Amino acid sequence: MSSVIRARGLVKAYGKSRALDGVDFDVPAGRIVGLIGPNGAGKTTALKAILGLTDFEGELSVLGYDPRTQRTQLMNEVCFIADVAVLPRWIRVGEAIEYVEGVHPRFSRKTCEGFLAKTKLKPAMRVKELSKGMVAQLHLALVMAIDAKLLVLDEPTLGLDILYRKEFYQNLLNEYFDHEKTIVVTTHQVEEIEHILTDLLFIKDGRIALAASMDEVGERFTEAMVAPEKREQALALKPLYERQVFGRSVFLFDGPARDQLAALGELHKPSVADIFVATMKGAYA
Amino acid sequence: MNRYVTLLKREYWEHRGGFLWAPVWAVVALLAMSLIGMGVTSWHANRTFDGEIRIGVPLQKLLSEIPPHEMAKLGLGYEAGLGGFWLVMQIVLFFVLFFYLLGALYDDRRDRSILFWKSLPVSDTETVLSKVAVAAIGAPLLAWAATVVLHLLFLGMLGVFVFAHGLSPMELVWGPAEPLALAAKMLALVPVNALWALPAIGWLLLVSAFARSKPFLWAVALPVALAVAINTFELLEALRIPDTWFWQHVVGRILTSLVPLSWFANAFIERAEQADMNGPGPEMLVDWSVIGGVLASPELWIGVVAGTAMIAASIHFRRRRELAD
């Protein structure tokens, strides 16, 4: 089994609108995949389908299980954090640990307490007394103490300040991730995670707009800063996107060879955010 | 095994207020009221010349004139009195359970914490059944324990009070009262109540799993509106079924069979009609033959089937329904 997730022709309709409109993708093992799309593009619906939280049409296999019928077995090997506000407000830190320990065969209390020892969290504290950042620390500690094969993160750092956001991803990368594990993450703060991603999945209007590894992205996409007199020449190469900086045009290209582009002007490696903006052109139109 | 204990603990942690503190406070309130009652009696006694408790005549004198076979009825008096305390405790339990069940599969959909619960390897069947177990057995057992403690503390207090007034607590209180026998009967009623309450447990969980908002309104207004409509259009009369049938057997069962001993009401009325002018004595409150009659009645078992079906439907909705925010 090479793919951790294999999706073919996923369709999910809410009434007449289609949140997923025939989605195909594969997530290989040992990758960190960014599932990135504008609001309403179907990211959360795709994750819900992967986690067996919603019904859908099409073919989907997660770690060899069908999430529609084998959700409980699947949850032994998958963890997810669905934004920071989902831990029950009444629960105490100690109770949350005891509960997960009681129901999850792959949970290690020792590991979890090790993570919590680095925070200000105490077992008697209630979630409702914690700041958002502390709730995220608790959730991450619980999840990282589970030896899961797949971790799904849906906007895990929404509403956190930059210190907690940095710490969150740092912990994830240093203490948790290895070649046995796969992480799928959605976020709007692309620039903060692009250095940890190995693969990109752009989703737009319920369809996959881009599926590529970061290496491929680096080869395919090039940004060129073009002087006004060469603008026509650049346009002829069918850029994805054009923006103006200090009277010069910055073009984003998908495909053309570098030596061809070098003649136009200075070349840069575009950021994921730039590629995202270019790919999503017209998403809200 | 540990896994199921964890699921039950989870319910207890969330609802400690209802399952533990509500009975504890009810015990405290009932004991405080008893104490006030004893205080008032003592105050009256102190106003008499001899410092005796008087019920028209001094209690001491009255007791000495009662023949022994009449004294035996004192035990029944205690059973009725302690039974009254028990009833109060059970009514508290009813309110706790009603709102517990209504929120059991709804609250976590509203505050999104269902996404946390569903991120763990617990099936929807296990989740729903853990809530059924807590409502049917767990919480009633805690209420039972609180009631036993209440009975023992009350009898202890009463003994001290009687002793302080120069009467024998052994003869008047601790001898005739049989709190342990009553405790055994109350314990035996826990599973009977649970079976009888199953349609209400099923209905409230079903609404809790199904409602996108306002579960209370759904739970109460839907069956009542249906019953009113049936009455208005006299649908059942065409089938020669009395109008009250739907109220009693459907609305009544799905909303009020959680009320403790509500199965007992019918039996009680029946007995009262057969009994002599004095009506049934307090001894039939937990008469084994009454309990046997209920366990043998088709009403109970039809309710069990309906309740089980509604619990199955709750599991289905628990799986399908998404957030309620």
10-residue mean pLDDT series, chain A (285 residues):
85 84 90 88 87 89 92 90 84 96 94 93 94 90 92 87 87 85 88 87 88 87 83 80 82 78 81 85 63
Q: What are the φ/ψ torsions at residue B261 (nearest 5 degrees)? A: 60, 15
Residue A260: inside a domain, yes or no?
yes
Tell me: do A181 and A70 sit in the same domain. yes
- ipTM for this model: 0.87
- In total, chain A counts a number of residues equal to 285
Domain end among A181, A205, A229: A205
Q: What are the tokens at A242? A: 């054009």
Residue B280's pLDDT is: 46
Tell me: do A201 and A221 sit in the same domain. no
Residue B175's pLDDT is: 77
Domain residues for A225? 217-279
Residue B51's pLDDT is: 59
Tell me: do A59 and A154 sit in the same domain. yes
Residue ranges of chain B with per-residue pLDDT less than 70: 1, 46-64, 68, 71-72, 234-243, 265-287, 324-325
Q: With contacts defined as CB-CB under 8 Å, which chain A residues touch B7?
A: 102-103
Q: What are the tokens at B196? A: 């009888």
The domain tally of chain A equals: 2
Residue B312's pLDDT is: 96
User: Which run of H or of E encompasses A8?
Assistant: strand A3-14
CATH number of the structural domain spanning residue A197: 3.40.50.300
Tell me: do A122 and A234 sit in the same domain. no
Residue A285: inside a domain, yes or no?
no
Tell me: do A227 and A124 sit in the same domain. no
Tell me: do A107 and A8 sit in the same domain. yes
Cβ–Cβ of B119/A81 closer than 8 Å? yes
Residue A249's pLDDT is: 82
Tell me: do A223 and A173 sit in the same domain. no
What pairs with residue A227 in β-bridges?
none
Residue B208's pLDDT is: 94
Tell me: do A8 and A133 sit in the same domain. yes
Q: With contacts defined as CB-CB under 8 Å, which chain A residues touch B120?
A: 75, 99-100, 103-104
Residue A284: inside a domain, yes or no?
no
Burial B206-244 (b: 16+ CB within 10 A, else e): bbbbbbeeebeebbbeebeeebeebeeeeeeeeeeeeee
Tell me: do A197 and A164 sit in the same domain. yes
Residue B180's pLDDT is: 86
- Is the pTM higher than 0.90? The answer reads no
Backbone angle region of A42, left / alpha / beta, with phi > 0 → left and psi within -120 to 50 → alpha: left
Closest listed residue to residue A78, CA positions, set A56, A55, A60, A59:
A60
Residue B195's pLDDT is: 92
Residue B60's pLDDT is: 67
Q: What are the tokens at B78? A: 């205690």
Are B180 and B127 contacting, i.e. CB atoms less than 8 angstroms apart? no
Tell me: do A169 and A228 sit in the same domain. no
Tell me: do A247 and A192 sit in the same domain. no
Residue A281's pLDDT is: 77
Cβ of A89 under 8 Å from any chain B Cβ?
yes
Q: How many CB atoms lie within 10 A of CB A130?
A: 18
Q: Number of A:B CB contacts under 8 A? A: 74
Tell me: do A251 and A126 sit in the same domain. no
Q: Least CA distance to B5: which residue of chain A?
A: A102
